[in-house]
Amino acid sequence: MRVAVISDIHGNGPALDAVLADIAARAVDAVYCLGDVAFQGPHAAYCVDVLRERHIPTVRGNTDRYLAGGGRPPGMPSGRADALLRPWREALGPERLAWLGVLPERLEVTWGGAAALLVHGSPRSDEEPLLPRLPGTGPGGAPGTGPRTGSPPGADSPGDGGPLAGVDAQLVLFGHHHLQLAWRQGGTGPWMVGPGSVGMPFDGDPRAAYALITVEEDRGASRFGAPRMAVTLVRVPYDVEAVIAAHRQAGLMDYNPLFPAQLRQARMHPAPQG
C-alpha cells in the first residue's frame, strides 16, 4: 500500500496544486492531510474546497482551530487575535469555518497491516512539535536545514511519560514545525514521520514538501510480525512569486508582512530583505 501525507498548506493554492499533481503521477492508494489548511496564505477558501472535493481525510491543526473560534495563538490577546484572523475568516465564510472546527484532533488508521497515528503537533497537543533528540542536543533536538532521516537516539518514547506516552502505533505522522523528518524512535520503535509543509517550508528549501509511505505486509520478515515500511520525503517546485503577488493583491501584507520572505527563504524567521 502506498499513502501520501501532506501537511501545513497554509492557504497556498499553487503549492497544493503542485503537490497533488505530483502525487497523482505516483499512483498512490490514499492521501491524508495533517492540518493547518487555510491561515497565512491568499488561497484559504480554495485549499479547503480542494480537500473537501477530493475527500482527503484531514486532522485539525492549531491554526484551523483558531480560525474556527477554538482559542488563539499562545500569549496573544483576544482582540489582537480576532483582528489578525479576520481576513481569513471572512474569506472562508461560516460553512468552511464550521468544517474546520469539526475536524478530528487525530486519526488512527491501518495501512497494509501497519497501525498509524496521524496528528498535527503531538498526540497530546496541536501546538507541541515533535523533534528527534540528536547527539549533543537536549530533549526535542534542534531543527536544521533540509530533511532528516535515519535512526537518531530516541527520546520521549511511548513508555516514558513524554508526548508519545500510551501511543501504540507502528507509524506516527505529524506536522506543525514545517520540517521534513523521518526517524525510527529509539532505533527499534515506531517510525516517526514529519512530511514537511506544503505551503510554508521552514527548512531552507522553498519547494513544497510531502511524504510517501509504502507498506508491504510481510509478517515473516519483520520484528514481531510487523509489516515492512519505507518513507520517501518528496519536494516539488511551484511558482513562489505568484503566491506572493496574490498575497499582496489580497491586501494581506498588513496582517502578515513576513509572508513573502518566509516563502522565498523557507524560514520561520527570515533575514531582512532590501
pLDDT at position 219 is 55
Mean pLDDT of 147-157: 43
What is the rounded distance in angstroms from the CA atom of residue 227 to the CA atom of residue 207? 31
What is the rounded distance in angstroms from the CA atom of residue 183 to the CA atom of residue 73? 29
What percentage of the chain reaches a pLDDT higher than 90?
66
Helices (H), 102-132: none
Q: Element (H or E) spanning 66, and its range?
A: helix 62-67
What is the rounded distance in angstroms from the CA atom of residue 201 to the CA atom of residue 4? 17
Tell me how far CA of residue 159 lies from CA of 63, 92, 153, 163, 164, in angstroms: 30, 41, 15, 10, 8
The string of pLDDT tens digits covering residues 95-118 is 999 999 999 999 999 999 899 999
What is the rounded distance in angstroms from the CA atom of residue 98 to the CA atom of residue 92? 10
Q: Are 127 and 74 in contact (CB under 8 A)?
A: yes
| Residue 140 scores a pLDDT above 60 | no
Q: Are 44 and 91 in contact (CB under 8 A)?
A: yes
**Which CATH code, of 3.60.21.10, 3.40.50.300, 3.40.50.720, 3.40.50.2000, is assigned to 2-121+195-228+235-265?**
3.60.21.10
What is the rounded distance in angstroms from the CA atom of residue 6 to the CA atom of residue 198? 7
Q: Element (H or E) spanning 111, and its range?
A: strand 106-111
What is the rounded distance in angstroms from the CA atom of residue 56 to the CA atom of residue 41? 20
Sketch the domain layout of the chain as residue ranges: 2-121+195-228+235-265
What is the rounded distance in angstroms from the CA atom of residue 6 to the CA atom of residue 248? 26
- Residue 236 β-bridge partners: 208
pTM: 0.87
pLDDT at position 136 is 39
The string of pLDDT tens digits covering residues 232-267 is 999 999 999 999 999 999 999 999 999 999 999 999
**Residue 146 Ramachandran class (φ > 0 left, ψ -120 to 50 alpha, else beta):** left
What is the rounded distance in angstroms from the CA atom of residue 167 to the CA atom of residue 148? 22
Q: Which three cell numbers stand for residue 77?
A: 490577546
Q: Are 268 and 182 in contact (CB under 8 A)?
A: no
